[in-house]
Amino acid sequence: MGALNGIKVIELAGIGPGPFIGMMLADAGAEIIRVDRPGGAAMPSMAVGRGRLGTLEADLKDPAARDTVLRLIDGADVLIEGFRPGVAERLGLGPDACLERNAKLVYARMTGWGQDGPLAPRAGHDINYISISGVLHAFTRAGDRPVPPLNLVGDYGGGAMFCAFGILAALLEARTSGHGQVVDAAMTDGSATLSAFIHGMRGLGGWEGEPGHNLLDTGAPFYDVYTTADGRHIAVGALEPKFYALFLAGLGLADEYLPAQTDTAGWPILRERFTAVIAGRTRAEWTEIFEPVDACVTPVLTWDEAAEHPHNQARATFVRPDGTLQPAAAPRLSRTPSLARDASGRIDASTLEAWGLTPEEAAKLAPDA
């Protein structure tokens, strides 16, 4: 049983980070009912929809459906919603209405801009939220334009994971106080918080304003990605001097006169030399050279290749709970391990009854069960 066994969660269906929050909590053992609009239950078939007890289709604009959802909220520990600010209130499912009924409820609100501020009512996506936090600007090679880091930094890193952290913190506090609270998780806030280390470096004068010239943003030639002879790539992270020395040795450059590693003026010379040498062998050849040594050099793998890598296979990093390749649950707990479980379909009547609905109410919401 997972660490969150016994925690009951209502997830009001959304996109982006909302389902990922539910996935994390479900992997850890929470019991989750996903509430979706009629005909909108496609997300559970995806990896981020795994582990729920099932999906309840309900038109939240219908007072009867809303009241039924409120009945479920009465016995829940957590509610997750990702509407624009004010929408849940207009539906009669805002935090005041829910906390009045269930004082211990943790009411988690996941948005891009947050619940207040001039942009709060506006639409947006991951790329927009991380653009105003300053993070997108940093994903830039010198002289080029920023490259969106998929939707991993805003939706999932700065959004879902911070919201999940807020939920767990509020659950712990509620055990002592007996009172729930609202978690206002915004992707702009979370992505900004993820950049705390960079802001610290800037404060110490160790980070230039323009991207592509710093230690970790492709400015340093010993922390970058290089193209191999077969058009594949290797990742080089030889930051510390001892790793850098092994990197040079693996390239066959240990005895060649080169600028010092810390000589930023010499970085263009190093980059040109590394590029030429690395282009002379295939990715497999470089992997064979560097795998046995601590030079911090690894192959850049595709999604499918990653699943087949011996290290990932040894740790079962990827699984197929429903036949679809997807990442396993993380992190790993020794006594109450998390588990990636199958995605579920529509909720059944017995589950709704276990959450406090009458048999008649449950049968109405789950007529096919």
pLDDT computed for residue 238 by the predictor: 98
Residue 209 lies in a domain: no
Q: Of 271, 299, 314, which residue sits at a domain end? A: 314
At residue 367, the pLDDT reads 64
Same domain, 301 and 352: no
How much is the pLDDT for 349?
A: 87
* Co-location of 124 and 171 in the same domain: yes
Q: Is the pLDDT of residue 90 over 70?
A: yes
From start to end of the chain, where are the E strands? 8-12, 31-36, 54-57, 78-81, 106-111, 181-186, 223-227, 233-237, 297-299, 318-319, 326-327
Look at residue 2 and tell me if it is in a domain. no
Q: Quick check: is 252 in a domain?
A: yes
pLDDT at 219 over 70: yes
Nearest-angstrom CA–CA distance, 159 and 191: 7
pLDDT range class, residue 362, cuts 50, 70, 90: confident
Q: Is the pLDDT of residue 32 over 60?
A: yes
Residue 347 region, left (φ>0) first, then alpha (ψ -120 to 50), else beta?
Answer: beta
Number of structural domains the chain divides into: 2
The length of the chain in residues reads 369
Residues 242-295 have pLDDT tens digits of 999 999 999 999 999 999 999 999 999 999 999 999 999 999 999 999 999 999
pLDDT tens string 166-183: 999 999 999 999 999 999
pLDDT tens, residue by residue, 292-349: 999 999 999 999 999 999 999 999 999 998 888 999 999 999 999 999 988 777 788 8
Say yes or no: 35 and 171 in one domain.
yes
Task: Name the DSSP class of 346.
Answer: B
Whether 304 and 349 map to the same domain: the answer is no
Distance CA 181, CA 158 (A): 20
The reply to whether 235 and 188 lie within a common domain is: no
Question: What is the model's pLDDT at position 93?
Answer: 97
* pLDDT band (50, 70, 90) for residue 38: confident
Give a yes or no: residue 207 inside a domain: no
In one-letter notation, the amino acid at residue 53 is L
pLDDT (mean) for 213-219: 95
Q: Are residues 238 and 282 in the same domain?
A: yes
- Give yes or no for residue 25 having a pLDDT over 50: yes
Whether residue 263 sits in one domain with residue 186: no
Give the mean pLDDT of the chain: 94
Place of tokens 């993070």: 135
Reply yes or no on whether the pLDDT at 45 is more than 80: no
Query: Tokens at residue 344, please?
Result: 């579920």
pLDDT tens digit sequence for 95-151 = 999 999 999 999 999 999 999 999 999 999 999 999 999 999 999 999 999 999 999
Q: Are residues 18 and 164 in the same domain?
A: yes
- 230 and 188 in a single domain? The answer is no
* CATH number for the domain that contains residue 110: 3.40.50.10540
Give me the DSSP letters along 47-101. Answer: GGGBT-SEEEE--TTSHHHHHHHHHHHHT-SEEEE-PPTTHHHHTT-SHHHHHHH
Q: Give the H/E segment covering residue 126.
A: helix 126-132
pLDDT confidence of 163, banded at 50, 70, 90?
very high
**Residue 160 near residue 21, CB atoms below 8 Å:** yes
**What is the rounded end-to-end Cα distance, in angstroms, of the chain?**
26
* Residue 331, preceding peptide bond in cis (omega within 30° of 0): yes
CA distances from 237 to 132, 215, 246, 274, 366 (A): 28, 10, 12, 13, 54
> Mean pLDDT over residues 153-157, rounded?
97
Helix, strand, coil % in the chain, rounded to nearest 5: 40, 15, 45
Which residue range forms the structural domain that includes residue 230? 223-314
Q: Is residue 66 part of a domain?
A: yes
Residues with Cβ within 8 Å of 219's Cβ and at least 6 positions away in sequence, in order, are: 142, 208, 211, 212, 213, 267
Min mean pLDDT across 32-46, 126-140, 199-213, 336-350 is at 32-46
What pLDDT, on the 0 to 100 scale, is given for residue 7? 97
The catalytic residue positions are 125, 155
Give domain status of residue 211, yes or no.
no
Whether pLDDT at 369 is above 50: no
The residues facing 50 across adjacent strands are 343
* Same structural domain, 134 and 70: yes
Burial of 23 (0-12, 13-18, 19+ CB in 10 A): buried
**38 and 138 belong to one structural domain:** yes
Q: Is residue 306 located within the same domain as residue 351?
A: no
Question: In the prediction, which pLDDT does 41 show?
Answer: 55
Q: Residue 39's pLDDT band (boundaries 50, 70, 90)? A: confident
Contact (Cβ atoms closer than 8 angstroms) between residue 159 and residue 17 = yes
Q: Is residue 187 part of a domain?
A: yes
Does 325 reside within a domain? no
What values do phi and psi take at 160, rounded to 5?
A: -60, -45
For residues 202-207, average pLDDT? 93
